Amino acid sequence: MGSIVLEKVKKSFGDVTVIPPLDLQIDDGEFVVFVGPSGCGKSTLLRLIAGLEDVSGGTIRIDGRDATEIPPARRGLAMVFQSYALYPHMSVRKNIAFPLRMAKLDQAEIDRRVGAAADILNLTAYLDRRPGQLSGGQRQRVAIGRAIVREPAAFLFDEPLSNLDAALRVGMRLEISELHKRLATTMIYVTHDQVEAMTMADKIVVLQAGVIEQVGSPLELYQRPRNVFVAGFIGSPRMNLIEGAEARKHDAAAIGIRPEHLEISQTEGLWKGTVGVSEHLGSDTFFHVQTNASAQPLTARASGELALGYGSEVYLTPRPEHLHRFDENGLRIA
Protein backbone atom coordinates (compact mmCIF):
# COMPACT_ATOMS: atom_id res chain seq x y z
CA MET A 1 0.00 0.00 0.00
CA GLY A 2 2.30 2.75 -1.05
CA SER A 3 3.89 2.26 -4.41
CA ILE A 4 4.46 5.40 -6.42
CA VAL A 5 5.20 5.37 -10.11
CA LEU A 6 6.17 8.40 -12.16
CA GLU A 7 5.81 8.09 -15.92
CA LYS A 8 7.23 10.78 -18.19
CA VAL A 9 6.59 13.35 -15.46
CA LYS A 10 7.62 16.79 -16.58
CA LYS A 11 7.54 20.24 -15.01
CA SER A 12 8.15 23.63 -16.52
CA PHE A 13 7.54 27.10 -15.17
CA GLY A 14 6.67 29.18 -18.19
CA ASP A 15 9.45 28.61 -20.69
CA VAL A 16 11.83 27.19 -18.13
CA THR A 17 11.90 23.43 -17.88
CA VAL A 18 12.93 22.40 -14.39
CA ILE A 19 12.24 18.70 -14.80
CA PRO A 20 12.49 17.10 -18.23
CA PRO A 21 10.36 13.95 -18.69
CA LEU A 22 11.38 11.49 -16.02
CA ASP A 23 10.45 7.95 -14.97
CA LEU A 24 10.76 6.58 -11.48
CA GLN A 25 9.47 3.58 -9.61
CA ILE A 26 9.11 3.62 -5.83
CA ASP A 27 8.08 0.35 -4.23
CA ASP A 28 5.82 -0.12 -1.26
CA GLY A 29 7.61 0.26 2.04
CA GLU A 30 10.79 1.67 0.56
CA PHE A 31 12.74 4.53 2.08
CA VAL A 32 13.70 6.59 -0.93
CA VAL A 33 15.93 9.62 -0.68
CA PHE A 34 16.08 12.32 -3.35
CA VAL A 35 19.45 13.94 -3.10
CA GLY A 36 21.24 16.59 -5.12
CA PRO A 37 22.67 20.07 -4.92
CA SER A 38 20.27 22.96 -4.27
CA GLY A 39 18.18 23.83 -7.29
CA CYS A 40 18.39 20.33 -8.75
CA GLY A 41 14.61 19.95 -8.75
CA LYS A 42 14.36 17.46 -5.90
CA SER A 43 11.89 19.54 -3.90
CA THR A 44 9.86 20.29 -7.01
CA LEU A 45 9.67 16.57 -7.72
CA LEU A 46 8.41 15.95 -4.19
CA ARG A 47 5.81 18.70 -4.54
CA LEU A 48 4.63 17.19 -7.81
CA ILE A 49 4.12 13.88 -6.04
CA ALA A 50 2.34 15.68 -3.20
CA GLY A 51 0.09 17.50 -5.66
CA LEU A 52 1.14 20.95 -4.48
CA GLU A 53 2.26 21.67 -8.03
CA ASP A 54 0.62 20.61 -11.27
CA VAL A 55 2.68 18.41 -13.57
CA SER A 56 3.26 19.87 -17.02
CA GLY A 57 3.02 16.40 -18.52
CA GLY A 58 3.15 12.72 -17.63
CA THR A 59 1.37 10.54 -15.10
CA ILE A 60 1.74 9.93 -11.39
CA ARG A 61 0.37 6.63 -10.13
CA ILE A 62 -0.11 5.95 -6.46
CA ASP A 63 -0.92 2.32 -5.71
CA GLY A 64 -1.65 1.79 -9.35
CA ARG A 65 -4.26 4.53 -9.45
CA ASP A 66 -3.76 7.57 -11.67
CA ALA A 67 -3.35 10.41 -9.16
CA THR A 68 -2.20 13.11 -11.55
CA GLU A 69 -5.41 15.13 -11.31
CA ILE A 70 -6.27 14.33 -7.71
CA PRO A 71 -5.95 17.22 -5.22
CA PRO A 72 -3.23 16.86 -2.57
CA ALA A 73 -5.49 15.99 0.32
CA ARG A 74 -6.99 13.00 -1.45
CA ARG A 75 -3.77 11.38 -2.60
CA GLY A 76 -3.35 9.65 0.75
CA LEU A 77 0.07 11.15 1.29
CA ALA A 78 1.38 13.06 4.28
CA MET A 79 4.12 15.64 4.17
CA VAL A 80 6.61 16.96 6.69
CA PHE A 81 7.85 20.39 5.69
CA GLN A 82 11.25 21.96 6.07
CA SER A 83 9.87 24.65 8.38
CA TYR A 84 7.63 22.02 10.02
CA ALA A 85 4.67 24.25 9.04
CA LEU A 86 2.99 23.81 12.40
CA TYR A 87 -0.12 25.88 13.02
CA PRO A 88 1.17 28.34 15.60
CA HIS A 89 -2.26 29.17 17.01
CA MET A 90 -3.13 25.57 17.80
CA SER A 91 -1.89 23.37 20.62
CA VAL A 92 0.20 20.33 19.80
CA ARG A 93 -2.90 18.19 20.27
CA LYS A 94 -4.89 20.30 17.82
CA ASN A 95 -2.06 20.36 15.33
CA ILE A 96 -1.87 16.60 15.27
CA ALA A 97 -5.64 16.30 15.19
CA PHE A 98 -6.12 18.80 12.37
CA PRO A 99 -6.02 16.36 9.43
CA LEU A 100 -8.40 14.07 11.28
CA ARG A 101 -10.75 16.94 11.98
CA MET A 102 -10.65 17.83 8.29
CA ALA A 103 -11.49 14.22 7.48
CA LYS A 104 -14.48 14.59 9.84
CA LEU A 105 -13.55 11.62 12.01
CA ASP A 106 -15.46 11.29 15.24
CA GLN A 107 -13.89 12.68 18.37
CA ALA A 108 -13.18 9.35 20.06
CA GLU A 109 -11.25 8.11 17.05
CA ILE A 110 -9.34 11.40 16.84
CA ASP A 111 -8.37 11.18 20.51
CA ARG A 112 -7.28 7.59 20.10
CA ARG A 113 -5.06 8.28 17.13
CA VAL A 114 -3.58 11.45 18.56
CA GLY A 115 -2.81 9.60 21.77
CA ALA A 116 -1.14 6.78 19.89
CA ALA A 117 0.96 9.14 17.79
CA ALA A 118 2.00 11.16 20.82
CA ASP A 119 3.00 7.94 22.46
CA ILE A 120 5.21 6.83 19.60
CA LEU A 121 6.85 10.25 19.41
CA ASN A 122 7.22 10.95 23.14
CA LEU A 123 4.98 13.98 22.90
CA THR A 124 2.39 13.04 25.49
CA ALA A 125 3.70 15.55 28.02
CA TYR A 126 3.57 18.39 25.51
CA LEU A 127 0.13 17.90 24.00
CA ASP A 128 -1.32 21.07 25.43
CA ARG A 129 1.59 23.35 24.58
CA ARG A 130 1.77 25.65 21.60
CA PRO A 131 4.42 25.00 18.94
CA GLY A 132 6.16 28.23 19.95
CA GLN A 133 6.97 26.71 23.34
CA LEU A 134 8.71 23.67 21.90
CA SER A 135 12.31 23.04 20.93
CA GLY A 136 13.29 22.41 17.33
CA GLY A 137 13.39 18.67 17.76
CA GLN A 138 10.00 18.59 19.47
CA ARG A 139 8.46 20.66 16.70
CA GLN A 140 9.87 18.23 14.22
CA ARG A 141 8.21 15.42 16.09
CA VAL A 142 4.87 17.23 16.10
CA ALA A 143 5.12 17.64 12.34
CA ILE A 144 5.79 13.94 12.02
CA GLY A 145 2.92 13.20 14.39
CA ARG A 146 0.58 15.19 12.19
CA ALA A 147 1.68 13.02 9.29
CA ILE A 148 1.44 9.70 11.16
CA VAL A 149 -2.16 10.06 12.34
CA ARG A 150 -3.43 10.12 8.80
CA GLU A 151 -2.05 6.64 8.28
CA PRO A 152 -0.91 7.69 4.83
CA ALA A 153 0.15 5.52 1.93
CA ALA A 154 3.47 7.31 1.96
CA PHE A 155 5.30 9.99 3.89
CA LEU A 156 6.98 12.86 2.11
CA PHE A 157 9.80 14.67 3.90
CA ASP A 158 11.10 17.96 2.50
CA GLU A 159 14.53 18.58 4.03
CA PRO A 160 13.10 18.02 7.49
CA LEU A 161 16.36 18.23 9.39
CA SER A 162 17.93 21.28 7.83
CA ASN A 163 16.65 23.62 10.55
CA LEU A 164 18.13 21.58 13.39
CA ASP A 165 21.60 21.88 14.83
CA ALA A 166 24.16 19.19 14.10
CA ALA A 167 23.74 17.11 17.25
CA LEU A 168 19.93 17.03 17.05
CA ARG A 169 20.10 16.18 13.38
CA VAL A 170 21.91 12.94 14.07
CA GLY A 171 19.34 12.03 16.72
CA MET A 172 16.34 12.81 14.53
CA ARG A 173 17.91 10.90 11.67
CA LEU A 174 17.91 7.80 13.81
CA GLU A 175 14.36 8.45 14.97
CA ILE A 176 13.04 8.77 11.46
CA SER A 177 14.83 5.58 10.40
CA GLU A 178 13.44 3.84 13.45
CA LEU A 179 9.95 5.08 12.58
CA HIS A 180 10.30 3.73 9.09
CA LYS A 181 11.27 0.31 10.37
CA ARG A 182 8.34 0.32 12.74
CA LEU A 183 5.65 1.59 10.35
CA ALA A 184 7.08 -0.02 7.22
CA THR A 185 5.40 2.70 5.17
CA THR A 186 6.85 4.17 2.02
CA MET A 187 8.87 7.30 2.73
CA ILE A 188 10.26 9.78 0.29
CA TYR A 189 12.84 12.02 1.76
CA VAL A 190 14.43 15.06 0.13
CA THR A 191 17.81 16.32 1.27
CA HIS A 192 20.90 17.99 -0.05
CA ASP A 193 23.00 16.22 2.55
CA GLN A 194 24.55 13.06 1.11
CA VAL A 195 25.30 11.76 4.61
CA GLU A 196 21.57 11.70 5.38
CA ALA A 197 20.97 9.98 2.06
CA MET A 198 23.62 7.34 2.70
CA THR A 199 22.57 6.59 6.27
CA MET A 200 18.82 6.47 5.85
CA ALA A 201 17.93 5.32 2.37
CA ASP A 202 16.98 1.96 0.97
CA LYS A 203 17.20 3.63 -2.40
CA ILE A 204 18.88 6.86 -3.34
CA VAL A 205 17.84 8.98 -6.31
CA VAL A 206 20.59 11.41 -7.28
CA LEU A 207 19.28 14.41 -9.17
CA GLN A 208 21.01 17.17 -11.04
CA ALA A 209 19.25 19.88 -13.05
CA GLY A 210 16.00 17.92 -12.93
CA VAL A 211 17.60 14.81 -14.39
CA ILE A 212 18.02 11.54 -12.50
CA GLU A 213 21.71 10.77 -12.54
CA GLN A 214 21.49 7.42 -10.81
CA VAL A 215 19.10 5.32 -8.77
CA GLY A 216 20.35 2.62 -6.46
CA SER A 217 21.12 1.45 -2.97
CA PRO A 218 23.61 3.55 -0.99
CA LEU A 219 26.39 1.01 -1.44
CA GLU A 220 25.73 0.61 -5.14
CA LEU A 221 26.09 4.32 -5.58
CA TYR A 222 29.17 4.44 -3.46
CA GLN A 223 30.90 1.52 -5.08
CA ARG A 224 29.74 1.91 -8.65
CA PRO A 225 28.85 5.56 -9.36
CA ARG A 226 27.43 5.75 -12.84
CA ASN A 227 29.16 9.02 -13.68
CA VAL A 228 31.53 11.68 -12.44
CA PHE A 229 28.75 13.72 -10.85
CA VAL A 230 27.51 10.89 -8.65
CA ALA A 231 31.08 9.90 -7.86
CA GLY A 232 31.82 13.38 -6.63
CA PHE A 233 28.52 13.90 -4.84
CA ILE A 234 28.30 10.70 -2.84
CA GLY A 235 30.98 10.14 -0.22
CA SER A 236 32.65 12.43 2.24
CA PRO A 237 35.34 13.58 1.85
CA ARG A 238 34.80 13.60 -1.88
CA MET A 239 36.31 11.11 -4.26
CA ASN A 240 39.60 12.28 -5.76
CA LEU A 241 39.21 12.87 -9.48
CA ILE A 242 42.29 12.91 -11.64
CA GLU A 243 42.34 13.95 -15.29
CA GLY A 244 45.12 14.13 -17.84
CA ALA A 245 48.16 11.94 -18.22
CA GLU A 246 47.53 9.71 -15.20
CA ALA A 247 43.98 9.03 -16.42
CA ARG A 248 45.20 8.22 -19.94
CA LYS A 249 47.44 5.52 -18.50
CA HIS A 250 44.19 3.75 -17.58
CA ASP A 251 42.52 4.44 -20.95
CA ALA A 252 40.11 6.93 -19.34
CA ALA A 253 39.34 10.64 -19.51
CA ALA A 254 39.26 10.74 -15.72
CA ILE A 255 39.96 8.36 -12.93
CA GLY A 256 38.57 8.49 -9.43
CA ILE A 257 39.83 7.08 -6.19
CA ARG A 258 38.25 7.46 -2.77
CA PRO A 259 40.40 8.75 0.10
CA GLU A 260 40.30 5.42 1.91
CA HIS A 261 41.64 3.64 -1.15
CA LEU A 262 44.91 5.54 -1.24
CA GLU A 263 47.82 3.88 0.55
CA ILE A 264 50.10 6.31 2.32
CA SER A 265 53.76 5.51 2.67
CA GLN A 266 56.73 7.56 3.70
CA THR A 267 59.19 5.48 1.73
CA GLU A 268 57.76 4.34 -1.58
CA GLY A 269 54.70 4.52 -3.81
CA LEU A 270 53.25 5.56 -7.13
CA TRP A 271 52.76 9.29 -6.62
CA LYS A 272 55.17 11.46 -4.71
CA GLY A 273 53.75 14.44 -2.89
CA THR A 274 53.88 16.97 -0.09
CA VAL A 275 51.50 16.99 2.84
CA GLY A 276 49.44 20.18 3.14
CA VAL A 277 46.65 20.55 5.66
CA SER A 278 45.81 17.52 7.80
CA GLU A 279 42.37 17.16 9.36
CA HIS A 280 42.37 15.10 12.52
CA LEU A 281 39.08 13.48 13.37
CA GLY A 282 40.58 11.32 16.09
CA SER A 283 39.70 7.96 14.60
CA ASP A 284 40.92 8.98 11.17
CA THR A 285 43.12 11.63 9.74
CA PHE A 286 42.62 13.13 6.31
CA PHE A 287 45.74 14.38 4.60
CA HIS A 288 45.57 16.79 1.72
CA VAL A 289 48.55 15.93 -0.39
CA GLN A 290 49.83 17.87 -3.38
CA THR A 291 51.17 15.33 -5.87
CA ASN A 292 52.48 15.40 -9.39
CA ALA A 293 49.51 13.29 -10.49
CA SER A 294 47.02 16.14 -10.57
CA ALA A 295 46.77 19.87 -10.12
CA GLN A 296 44.35 19.51 -7.23
CA PRO A 297 45.65 18.12 -3.95
CA LEU A 298 44.50 14.56 -3.28
CA THR A 299 42.75 13.59 -0.09
CA ALA A 300 43.92 10.42 1.61
CA ARG A 301 42.57 8.73 4.70
CA ALA A 302 44.88 7.26 7.30
CA SER A 303 44.32 5.94 10.77
CA GLY A 304 44.32 8.52 13.53
CA GLU A 305 47.69 7.41 14.81
CA LEU A 306 49.65 8.40 11.74
CA ALA A 307 51.29 11.81 12.27
CA LEU A 308 52.72 13.68 9.32
CA GLY A 309 53.82 17.28 9.62
CA TYR A 310 52.98 20.08 7.22
CA GLY A 311 55.35 19.84 4.26
CA SER A 312 56.50 16.27 4.85
CA GLU A 313 57.10 14.09 1.83
CA VAL A 314 54.85 11.09 1.28
CA TYR A 315 53.98 8.59 -1.42
CA LEU A 316 50.41 7.71 -2.38
CA THR A 317 49.39 4.52 -4.13
CA PRO A 318 45.83 3.83 -5.32
CA ARG A 319 44.48 0.34 -4.81
CA PRO A 320 43.88 -0.75 -8.40
CA GLU A 321 40.71 -2.75 -7.63
CA HIS A 322 39.08 0.42 -6.30
CA LEU A 323 39.95 2.68 -9.18
CA HIS A 324 36.95 4.21 -10.99
CA ARG A 325 37.34 5.03 -14.66
CA PHE A 326 35.23 7.59 -16.57
CA ASP A 327 35.09 8.41 -20.27
CA GLU A 328 35.13 11.88 -21.85
CA ASN A 329 31.35 12.24 -21.25
CA GLY A 330 31.90 11.58 -17.57
CA LEU A 331 30.28 8.14 -17.77
CA ARG A 332 31.66 5.14 -15.94
CA ILE A 333 33.72 2.71 -17.96
CA ALA A 334 32.79 -0.79 -16.86
Partner 1 sequence: MARAVSTRRKVMTTALAWAIGLLIFFPIYWTILTSFKTEAQAINNPPLFFGFDWTLENYSVVQERSDYMRFLWNSVIIAGGSTALGILVAVPAAWSMAFVPSRRTKDILLWMLSTKMLPAVGVLYPISLIFVEFNLLDTRIGLILVLMLINLPIIVWMLYTYFREIPGEILEAARMDGAGLREEILYVLTPMAIPGIASTVLLNVILAWNEAFWTLNLTAANAGPLTAFIASYSSPEGLFYAKLSAASTMAIAPILILGWFSQKQLVRGLTFGAVK
Partner 2 sequence: MATQHSRSAARLMMAPAVILLLGWMLVPLTMTLYFSFKKYLPMRGDSLERGLDWVGFENYSRFLNSSSFWPSVQATLLIVGGVLVITVVLGVLLAILLDQPIWGQGIVRILIIAPFFVMPTVSALVWKNMFMDPVNGMFAHLWRFFGAEPVSWLSDASVQSIIMIVSWQWLPFATLILLTAIQSLDSEQIEAAEMDGASVLSRFFYIVLPHLSRAITIVILIQTIFLLSIFAEIFVTTGGAFGTRTLTYLIFQRVVDSQNIGLGSAGGVYAIILANIVAIFLMRIVGKNLDR
| Binding span for partner 1 by CB under 8 A among 34-42, 94-102, 116-124, 176-184 | 94-102
CB 158 within 8 A of CB 81: yes
**Nearest-approach distance from CB 290 to partner 2, in angstroms:** 38
Report if residue 85 touches partner 1, rule: CB under 8 A. Answer: yes
**Closer residue to partner 2 (CB): 2 or 51:** 51
Quote the least distance from Cβ 47 to partner 2, whole Å.
9
CB closer to partner 1 out of 162 and 199: 162
* Maximum pairwise Cα distance, the chain: 76
Q: Between 66 and 119, whose beta carbon lies closer to partner 2?
A: 66
Question: Which option in partner 1, partner 2, none does residue 315 bind, with CB closer than 5 to 8 A by kind?
Answer: none
Decide if 36 contacts 198 (C-beta within 8 A): no
Query: For residue 195, how many other CB atoms are within 10 A of its CB?
Result: 15
Q: Note the residues at the interface with partner 2 (CB under 8 A).
A: 51-54, 71
- Burial class of residue 182 in the structure, from the number of CB atoms within 10 Å of its CB (0-12 exposed, 13-18 middle, 19+ buried): exposed
Please choose which of partner 2, partner 1, none residue 54 contacts, taking the beta carbon within 5 to 8 angstroms, the exact cut-off set by kind.
Answer: partner 2
Render 79-141 in DSSP notation, one character per residue.
Answer: EE-TT----TTS-HHHHHHHHHHHTT--HHHHHHHHHHHHHHTT-GGGTTS-GGGS-HHHHHH
The distance in angstroms from the start CA to the end CA of the chain is 37
* Shorter beta-carbon distance to partner 1: residue 151 or 260: 151
List Cβ neighbours of 317 (8 Å cut-off, separation of 6 or more): 262, 263, 265, 269, 270, 271
Binding partner 1 by CB under 8 A: which of 20, 98, 260, 317? 98
Instruction: Check residue 54 for interaction with partner 1 (CB under 8 A).
Output: no
- Site for partner 1 contains 145 (CB under 8 A): no
Residue 315: burial class (beta carbons within 10 Å; 0-12, 13-18, 19+) = middle
Told to check if 72 binds partner 1 by CB under 8 A, we report yes
Question: Per CB under 8 A, which region of 37-45, 68-76, 218-226, 301-309 contacts partner 1?
Answer: 68-76
What does DSSP assign to residue 11? E
* CA distances (Å), origin 76, targets 28, 51, 63: 14, 11, 10
85 binds, among partner 1, partner 2, none (CB under 5 to 8 A by kind): partner 1
- Residue 53 binds which of partner 2, partner 1, none (CB < 5-8 A, kind-dependent): partner 2
Please state whether beta strands 77-80 and 240-243 pair in parallel, antiparallel, or not at all (unpaired).
unpaired
Work out whether 52 is an interface residue with partner 1 (CB under 8 A): yes
User: Which residues are near partner 1 by CB under 8 A?
Assistant: 50, 52, 71-74, 77-79, 81-83, 85-89, 98-99, 102-103, 146, 150
